[in-house]
Amino acid sequence: MLREETMLRPSLLLLFSSSLLLFSLAEAKTLDPYKVLGVDKGASQRDIQKAFHKLSLQYHPDKNKNKGAQEKFAQINNAYEILSDEEKRKNYDMYGDEKGNPGFNGGNFGGQDGYTYFSGGGPGNDHFSFRPDGWQRMGGQDSKSFSFSFGGPGAGSSSFGFGDIFSNFFGGDMKSRNQFGGFGGSAGPKSGFSSPTTIQSINAQFFNKEIADQGLTWLLLSYTPTSRGYHIFESVLEEVAGSLQGAVKAGSINCQNEQVLCKDLGIFPARSARVFVYSFRSNERGSLVEFSGELDAKDLKKFCQDHLPRYSKRVDLSQFDFSSMAIDKLPQLLLLSSKKDTPVIWRVLSGLYRKRFIFYDAEVPDTSDSMLKKLGVDALPSVIGMLVNGEKHVLKTGIVVKDLKSGINEMKVLLESFEKKNKKVASSQAKKSSQSEPRDNEIPHLTTTNFDNICGEKTAVCIIGVYRSSKTKDKLQTYLSNVSRKTLSRRQNQVVGSGDSVSYALLDATKHSSFLGSFDKSGYKSSDRLLVAYKPRRGKFAVFTDEMTLEGIEGFISSVLNGDVQFLKVRQKPVLK
């Protein structure tokens, strides 16, 4: 008998100490989740997410080495798990238990048949139990022992090592951490941490239809169900997207389900989730840039703002002239403000409407600027528009917006109204043009009959726009016509000897390769478009092959007239056949 008692004492001692440990952990579980997160019972999901994000970063074991930080972090995660899930929160409010069981189960103490029952209920329904069906005979007929179990399905009795306990509380191995926080294990949307409703779940079809090349900036989170720290990443994204609502949207891509999309985009996560910004900062097409800084809402917000579109050209108001900027028959917009940089709202709009308007913006210190009076502006900020027929309109002055989202929406209404007016004007112009003779400002094509009038010996400089496609022809027609009206007098093909310094013409390279061969042996066969500045009297020429923009063409012609361009001798006198 003595021997039997001696053998039982170590077991009972272990059992007693283990019980104390479990009751200690159970007490942490019973803490009111509202008090843990520091929010009221009527708090919105937004308030709960903000509180969770703030506290989880403050007490994360990677950042906080103080005693009790791990326990506090466990309480924070557990509280968020309950309050972020609608059903669990409802159950807790009604019963003090997220599972809807009255008594002590992550809520208040209670009894079941005279026994105490509790469970941890961590991610994946991990739990520990202390219940009547765990009694087992031990040492004698009336002797009973406790059976403790941790973890999910298939989990056996626990060894009570703290590594195992915290592994179940956090959903992974404590050693599996990343620099941003969070632990391994099941951390995807189906884990205990609910996905904020403002973050869009994205698949390939949604990406191609709603994101690719639409002009709006997106915050994208790529992950797999085993990615570490997913809930913290998602919380930060939700906060940033909320603060930039209207300018930025947030989405998440489960790369386990969307493997092809993630590989095509080059965003497949490794052990931890990854954050990207999809933006139109400088390219016509959207591009992905990975965020590699500290996962802090302030830093991520700045990163997003830095990558907002920049399609609006910053101009000097004293030298700005709407009429010289007309491109591709699009209406033009000019924002006047006191900002030293292009305002965020204007950058967002320039991305969304980049194919429908030409955007400019200028800094104006105050309304005393003399240029404002000429434009009819009496308050800042203001927006001025110009239709394709050259009419200027003051669209709005003294603009005041409540917030970013409402400001963008108000400006959308303004822009789309002006666009409708422009379409009516353009349609009217096209109708008149079709009913009239060739326009006075239309650049003629070089032919055998008009060559002497346009590029003959009496011409000082003949500017020839050479093209190989109809798209290039239309652009050259617009650019050369615009330049000729603005600063230089163009020789009409009916007029000879009027003293014009420069004349303009177009040439189809596919039909007149021998003509181009007079300037260069290659005939410029590799060029889709170029400008030839030809001086008939001197038998010299210069070529412009850079990108065809209005500013580039105007700069080239000005350099030709000012003698700043090096001319070469023609191989032979060019003749049209």
pLDDT in tens, 544-554: 988 888 889 98
Residue found by looking up tokens 């989740």 in the block: 33
Q: What is the pLDDT of residues 455-509, one digit of tens each?
A: 988 888 999 999 999 888 999 998 998 888 765 443 333 333 334 578 999 999 9
Residues 140 and 234 occupy one common structural domain? no
Has residue 466 been placed in a domain?
yes
Terminal-to-terminal C-alpha distance of the chain:
125
Q: Are 276 and 217 in contact (CB under 8 A)?
A: no
Residues 33 and 85 occupy one common structural domain? yes
Residues 137 and 273 occupy one common structural domain? no
Structure tokens at 123: 């991610």
Residue at which a domain ends, from 405, 432, 459 = 432
Q: Which domain holds residue 121?
A: 25-170
Residues 382 and 512 occupy one common structural domain? no
Residues 29 and 148 occupy one common structural domain? yes
Residue at which a domain ends, from 306, 329, 345 = 306
Structure tokens at 577: 């056949």
Q: Return the closest-CA partner of residue 149 out of 123, 171, 168.
A: 168
Three-class secondary structure of residue 143 per DSSP: coil
Has residue 180 been placed in a domain?
no
pLDDT higher than 80, residue 268: yes
Q: Are 96 and 84 in contact (CB under 8 A)?
A: no
pLDDT given at position 324: 57
Residue found by looking up tokens 């591009």 in the block: 287
Q: Return the closest-CA partner of residue 77 out of 179, 172, 203.
A: 172
Of the pLDDT bands very low, low, confident and very high (cuts 50, 70, 90), residue 176 is very low
pLDDT given at position 253: 95
Question: Which residue stretches of 367-469 are H helix?
Answer: 370-375, 404-435, 451-455
Residues 31 and 166 occupy one common structural domain? yes
Across 128-139, average pLDDT: 34
Highest-confidence range of 76-80, 126-130, 159-163, 434-438, by mean pLDDT?
76-80
Has residue 5 been placed in a domain?
no
Q: Which amino acid appears at position 168 of this protein?
A: N
How many CB atoms lie under 10 A from the CB of residue 494?
8
Has residue 195 been placed in a domain?
no
Q: What is the pLDDT of residues 431-457, one digit of tens each?
A: 776 554 445 568 999 988 888 888 988
Burial class (CB in 10 A: 0-12, 13-18, 19+), 546: exposed
Q: For residues 251 and 324, which has the higher predicted lDDT (pLDDT)?
A: 251
Has residue 188 been placed in a domain?
no
pLDDT given at position 232: 82
Q: Return the closest-CA partner of residue 496 out of 536, 526, 528.
A: 536
Residue at which a domain ends, from 371, 403, 432 = 432
Structural domain count of the chain? 4
Q: What is the pLDDT of residues 502-540, one digit of tens each?
A: 899 999 998 888 899 999 988 888 888 999 999 998 999
Has residue 20 been placed in a domain?
no
pLDDT higher than 70, residue 34: yes
Q: How would DSSP label each residue in 511-577?
A: T-HHHHHTT-TTTTTT-SEEEEEEETTTTEEEEE-S---HHHHHHHHHHHHHT-S--EE-SS-----
CATH number (domain holding residue 164): 1.10.287.110
Has residue 577 been placed in a domain?
no
Residues 77 and 150 occupy one common structural domain? yes
CA distances from 394 to 5, 301, 379, 414 (A): 98, 33, 11, 11
CATH number (domain holding residue 347): 3.40.30.10
pLDDT given at position 13: 40
Residue 171, sorted as left (phi over 0), alpha (psi -120 to 50) or beta, turns out to be left
Q: Return the closest-CA partner of residue 403 out of 360, 340, 348, 333.
A: 348
Long-range CB pairs of 393-401 (<8 Å, 24+ gap) are 393/418, 393/421, 395/333, 401/345
Q: Are 275 and 297 in contact (CB under 8 A)?
A: no
Q: Return the closest-CA partner of residue 528 out of 468, 445, 476, 463.
A: 468
Which of 60-64, 109-113, 331-335, 365-369 shows the lowest mean pLDDT across its residues? 109-113
Residues 345 and 401 occupy one common structural domain? yes
Angle, CA of 63, 67 and 68, to the nearest 5°? 90
Strand order in the sheet with 461-467: 502-508, 461-467, 529-535, 540-544, 568-569
Three-class secondary structure of residue 228 per DSSP: strand
Residues 246 and 331 occupy one common structural domain? no
Residues 153 and 287 occupy one common structural domain? no
Q: Which amino acid appears at position 82 of this protein?
A: I
Residues 277 and 320 occupy one common structural domain? no
Q: Return the closest-CA partner of residue 226 out of 266, 263, 275, 269.
A: 269
Cis peptide before 10 (omega within 30 of 0): no
Question: What is the Cα–Cα distance from 438 to 422, expressed in whole angstroms?
Answer: 23
Has residue 124 been placed in a domain?
yes
Residues 128 and 252 occupy one common structural domain? no
